[in-house]
Structure 1
Amino acid sequence: MKNIILLLFLPFAVYAQTDLHTIGELIKNKQFAKAEHLVLNYLKSHPNNLKAIEYLGDAYGYQKKWDDAIIQYKKLLKTDQNCANYNYKYGGVLGMKALSISKIKAVGIIGEAKKHFLRAAQLDKNHIDTRWALVELYMQLPGIIGGSKSKSLKFANQLQNLSLVDGYLAKGYIYEYDNEPELAEQYYKKAIAVGGSLTCFNKLTSFYENQNQPEKAIKNIEAAQQKHQRNVLHYQLGKVAAEYNTQLDKGEQCLQTYIAHYTAKDGVPVAWANYRLAQIKRHKNSKTEALKYINLAITALPNIKVFKKEKEKIEKL
């Protein structure tokens, strides 16, 4: 009899697990609105499922629905105040909400966010994301409400003890934010030497772009391409060439390669590659070609304002 009952409930249990797996995959693939819809339906029959509540908070958070996300993560904290991840996520959405309101109103919220980040760090000595959040929070806050480079470096050192790569990237971020470019470059290069991930290369590329050093950015992208062979790097190189009006032939070739080998996994829509090609053709004073590419971009994504502004520039040639 017991076996019959178990068999009766087994399909339901498998279905429930499959539903949660599907929701998790949707969030992983950045389909946040679909995930939100599915998890809301799931919660109608499983209102106390903690993983489902967490997924709903995640879906809201990624869509910048801060108040809704706060409600969901607060539910989780009520079930377990000693869960590092719940404290981290709750602190995270509080921090993001603080950035979206006036500075006066944000002060109290920031204090609460900091409290939960520190609690998460205390609960889990190996929680990398929490320490990253604290590195960024202490650097971005004005000193009058608790900002501190020394505290930021303290958590960067904790990161370095957990992961050399994260520690180096965190210090690169701190020194870049504090306008110490030589030290920032040094630590970003250390991260590449130790880890060599695409993320490490991208951090250094962004740094060079922020420093208005497009030649170094292109050289770094080429090094990343040699190691990782990713099509999206062709777009990145073309983007730098187009934005800084440098190495235009190389940039054009890379963008054409990107379009020829494009798949959805590359992330950046082809329309943006056509926009960059239009910029390059404008730099070369090739009005007809530039118009061809910008029209392709606008046809694909008609609501992008920078595409329309680029067309206005081209038409003035």
Structure 2
Amino acid sequence: MTKFLLPFLFSIMAFSQSNLDDIETLFQKKQFNKAEQLVSDYLKTHPNNLQAIELLGDAYGHQKKWDGAILQYEKLVNNKEHHANYHYKYGGALGMKALSVSKLKALGIIGDVKEAFLKAAELDKNHIGTRWALVELYMQLPGIIGGSKSKSLRYAEELEVLSKVDGYLAKGYVYEYDDEPELAEKYYKMAIKEGGSVTCFNKLTVLYENEKEPEKAIENIEAAHKKHQRNAMHYQIGKVAAEYNIELQKGERCLQTYLENHSAEDGVPKAWAHYRLAQIHVHKQNKQEALKYIELAIAELPKIKPFKEQKEKILGL
């Protein structure tokens, strides 16, 4: 479950302008606990403000406080039962709650998740997020409690009408989940041709990695880099090279480029690039170089278990 599990994008439309600015800044800084406190204080004197209630639900959701999020979104649904996005957020919070409890308890929640998403889809024929939620939900539920590939594909078709890229990605997801990699590849390639976003390329890359086709994965990442020029893609190539022991020179070169141009926007810490370089040098039987890079990785992130395990492996060469 991915897209419908994090539907907590805040809609800043509340209070006074000063409160608005404060909340927006806190969300941007990912200071969700402070945002929660600010909105909670406001609701003490304005308990029926729907925008504030929604923001509090969003703040809870970002912190994985699912019970709190469910409570706030339920208030919204009860207050405005014809508001599709309220049902969507309510279903999303319930879905996350279901993932955080035992399978037995989750069974008692799934019905409400499905009902919320179906209601949102009924209320808004153009709601893309809800249709993604239903694609994923019906694929992941066991058939005995309502799972259905045909229903997933039906909502993927609805997505395709609203957005060809989303429709192709949804079909790719369905076929990948159902272990039909050729069809998944077909639709991910269609999504790349139609939209060509980083997300489209990443879906195909992950498929190739899962199918143990690293050469295709590297080729796809290189095509993505040619279009988008993202430094993070250098790391991706290095990662595949290191994990599958292929194109080691290219992998090493890409990782060095990643390190030279690294910024916070790249997402992956430098330590992981050093770890991948250590892996590459293990493949090359260069013990001293491998040890140098794994020490750099551990120095930056000393608690990462794979780094420590890699060091033991290197020492045993």
Give the TM-score normalised by structure 2: 0.90
Structure-2 residue corresponding to 1:213: 213
Which ranges in structure 1 are unaligned for 5 or more consecutive residues?
Answer: 1-11
**CA distance in 2: counterparts of 1:268 and 1:238, whole angstroms:** 12
Q: Which residue of the partner structure matches residue 18 of structure 1? A: 21
Deviations 1:98-118 (A, max 9, x none): 122222221120110000000
Question: Structure 1 vs Structure 2: percent identity of aligned residues?
Answer: 65
Distance, in Å, in 1 between the alignment partners of 2:94 and 2:222 is 39
What amino acid maps onto 1:94 in structure 2? L
- Structure 1 residues 161-240: aligned runs within 5 Å: 161-240=161-240
User: In the alignment, what sits opposite 1:65?
Assistant: 65
Aligned pair count? 300
SS of residue in 1 equivalent to 2:135: helix
Shift of 1:24: 3.5
Give the deviation of 1:36 after TM superposition.
2.2
Point out the more displaced range, 16-25 or 196-205.
Answer: 16-25
**More deviation, 298-307/75-84:** 75-84
Q: Distance in 2 between the 1:45 and 1:78 partners?
A: 21
Separation in 1 of the partners of 2:295 and 2:17? 49
> Within 5 Å, which residues of 2 pair with 1:257-296?
257-296=257-296
2:8 corresponding residue in structure 1? none
1:217 CA displacement = 0.2
> What is the alpha-carbon root mean square deviation over aligned residues?
1.5
Mapping of 1:117-132 within 5 angstroms?
A: 117-132=117-132
Question: Per-residue deviation at 1:54?
Answer: 2.6
> Aligned runs of 1:137-152 on 2, under 5 Å?
137-152=137-152
* More relative contact order, 1 or 2 (CA 8 Å, 6+ apart): 2
User: Over residues 212-268 of structure 1, what are the superposed CA-to-partner deviations in whole Å (9 max), with x where a residue is unaligned?
Assistant: 100000000000000000001111111111111111111111111111111111111
Kindly provide the amino acid, as one letter, of the partner of residue 13 in structure 1. S
Alignment partner, residue 251 of structure 2: 251
Cα distance, 1:295 vs structure 2: 1.4
Q: 2: distance between equivalents of 1:38 and 1:148? A: 39
Question: Structure 1 residues 294-303 or 63-72, which shifts more?
Answer: 63-72
1:56 to 1:237, Cα distance in 2 relative to 1, 3 A: farther
Q: CA deviation at 1:37?
A: 1.8
Structure 1 residues 14 and 105 mapped into 2: Cα distance closer, same or farther (>3 Å)? closer
Instruction: List runs of 5+ in structure 2 lacking aligned partners.
Output: 1-14
Aligned to 1:38: 35
* 173-182 vs 60-69, greater mean Cα deviation: 60-69
Once residues 179 and 226 of structure 2 are traced to their aligned partners in structure 1, the CA distance between those partners, rounded to angstroms, is 30
Which one-letter code corresponds to 2:34 in the other structure? H
Q: Secondary structure at the match of 1:235?
A: helix
Asked if the contact 1:24–1:55 (Cα under 8 Å) also holds between the matched residues in 2, the reply is no
Alignment correspondent of 1:315: 315
**Aligned partner of 2:149: which letter?**
K
Measured in 1, the distance between the counterparts of 2:168 and 2:231 equals: 26
TM-score after normalising by structure 1: 0.90
How many angstroms apart in 2 are the aligned matches of 1:112 and 1:300? 45
The one-letter code of the counterpart of 1:43 is S
